[in-house]
Structure 1
Amino acid sequence: MYNELIGIGTFFVTFILMLVLYRIFGKTGLFVWVAIGTIIANIQVIKTVELFSVSATLGNVMFASIYLATDILNDIYGRKQAKKAVWLGFSSVIVMVILLQCSLAFIPAQDDVSQQALETIFNIVPRIALGSIIAYIIGQHLDVLLFTLIKKKFSSDKTFYIRAYGSTVVSSIVDTAIFVLIAFYGNLPNSVVFEIFITTYFLKLLTTISNVPFGYIAKSMYRKGKIAE
């Protein structure tokens, strides 16, 4: 149960930190969260752990927080701001990959102790990096679009959960399917690829169901004028 307890703790720490940035920096704080969160999630996804007796990659909680951040931006500030955040996240990953590859290209000094560790972490298999980037940009844009469409029918504060659940549940299927197919199809047996898809999507869905209350907290802070702008 150790990993499960750490996972629950990480979940609360992640979303509380997101709210803190929003409280202190307002809309800019959410933009920053999406940018740094996308980088962190793409590093976390390298690590595989055992959760609830199944193998899973990290990063699902952070990716879920990014989806929630764009949903909050879309709900309070409009679709244009949400799409801006999506492109900020995408640009952050591209910049990270390019600059880190430049860093790895340097010949290390004889007494250097970090080159091998950096290569292990940041020499990401091209298919996995490509799958993550493509899945992110398509999934996030689909999430923003679906959220906007659902908002036309369910626009009150009380129905925020319908907009958040409806958009993220569908976009996460697409996001996960694209990532798993690009990263693993052909390299692993089809049954294993399908298992990775199911477990990854289940964890994303579980996190999504649990994180919407934090969206209501963010909206409440905004209504009460507690958000710095």
Structure 2
Amino acid sequence: MFNELFGIFTFIVTFVLLIIMYRMFGKHGLLAWVAIGTIIANIQVIKTIDLFSISATLGNVMFASIYLATDILNDIYGRKVAKRAVWLGFSSTLVMIIVMQLSLHFTPSPVDTSQHALETIFNVVPRIALGSIIAYIIGQHLDVMIFSLIKKVFSSDRTFIIRAYGSTLFSNIIDTALFVLIAFAGSMPNAAVFEIFITTYVLKLLSTIFNVPFGYVAKSMYRRGKITSKDEGY
């Protein structure tokens, strides 16, 4: 049960950190979160763990936090800012891939102890990242579009939960399917790939269900004027 309990702890820490970033830096904190989060999630997803005796990849909680960050940006600052966040996350991942691939091609010193470890992680990242980039761009744009469409019908603060759930639950199906197929198909047995798809989507689903209260906390801070000065300070 350690992984399950530690997963709950990690979930809480992740979303509390997101709220702290928003509280300290306003919308720029959320934009930074999307950029940092895509890099972290693409590294985390390399690691496979067992949850309730089922194989799953890490990174699901971080990806869920990125979706929440873009939903908050979309709800408070508009679709244009949310789309900017999506492209910022894409650019961050692309920069990481290029820079780390260049770094791996340096000849290491005889006393170096990190080359093998870096190769183990970042030589796997390009395929993982390719799947993530394609899934991320399509999934996030779907999320932003669906969120905006739902907002035209349900626009009050109380219906943020409908906008967040409706947009994320659908876009995550497409996101997860694309990512798992590109990142793992052919390198694992089909049964394992399907298992990863199911567990990944279920974990994202659970993360979405339980992360919306953090979205309400962010919106509450904005309504009470605790964020405006941060937005204007940059």
Q: TM-score, normalised by structure 2?
A: 0.95
Matched, 1:28 2:28: yes
What SS is found at the alignment partner of 2:153?
coil
Deviations 1:64-98 (A, max 9, x none): 00000000000000000000000000000000000
1:122 and 1:54 mapped to 2: Cα distance?
A: 25
* Secondary structure, aligned partner of 1:108: coil
CA distance in 1, matches of 2:126, 2:113: 25
**Counterpart Cα distance in 2 of 1:92 and 1:220:** 29
Residues 84-129 of structure 1 deviation map (CA, whole Å, 9 limit, x = unaligned): 0000000000000000111111000000011001111111254322
Cα distance in 1, alignment partners of residues 41 and 74 from structure 2: 21
- Report deviation, 1:184: 2.5
Which residue number corresponds to residue 78 of structure 1? 78
Report what 2:206 is aligned to.
206
- Provide the rounded CA distance (Å) in 1 between the counterparts of 2:224 and 2:75: 16
Residues of 1 paired with 2:126 and 2:102: CA distance? 16
CA distance in 2, matches of 1:125, 1:100: 9
After TM superposition, the structure 1 stretch with the greater mean CA deviation from structure 2, 120-129 or 7-16, is: 120-129
Q: Which residue of 1 aligns with 2:221?
A: 221
2:105 corresponds in structure 1 to 105
Distance (whole Å) between structure 2 residues aligned to residue 187 and residue 46 of structure 1: 13
Q: Map residues 112-131 of structure 1 onto 2, 5 A cutoff.
A: 112-124=112-124, 126-131=126-131
Matches within 5 A, 1:1-229: 1-124=1-124, 126-227=126-227, 228-229=230-231
Question: Partner amino acid for 1:200?
Answer: T
Instruction: Spell out, residue by residue over 1:26-83, the C-alpha distance to the aligned partner (whole angstroms, 9 max, x if none).
Output: 0100000000000000000011111122111000000000000000000000000000
Instruction: Report how many aligned residue pairs link the two structures.
Output: 229
Contact 2:54 2:195 in 1 (8 A): no
Task: Report the secondary structure of 2:124's partner residue.
Answer: coil
Percent of aligned pairs sharing the same letter: 76
Q: TM-score, normalised by structure 1?
A: 0.97
What one-letter code is carried by the residue in structure 2 that aligns with 1:167?
A: S
* Farther off after superposition, 127-136 or 141-150: 127-136
Q: What letter matches 2:61 in structure 1? A: V
- Given that 2:176 and 2:197 are in contact with CA atoms closer than 8 Å, whether structure 1 keeps it comes out as yes
* Residue pair 2:57, 2:196 contacting (<8 A) in 1 also: no
Secondary structure at the counterpart of residue 207 of structure 1: helix
Q: Using the alignment, how far apart are the partners of 1:43 and 1:136 within structure 2? A: 14
How far residue 181 of structure 1 moved from its aligned partner, in angstroms, is 1.4
Change (3 A) 1:124 1:197: same
Q: Unaligned stretches of 5+ in structure 2?
A: none
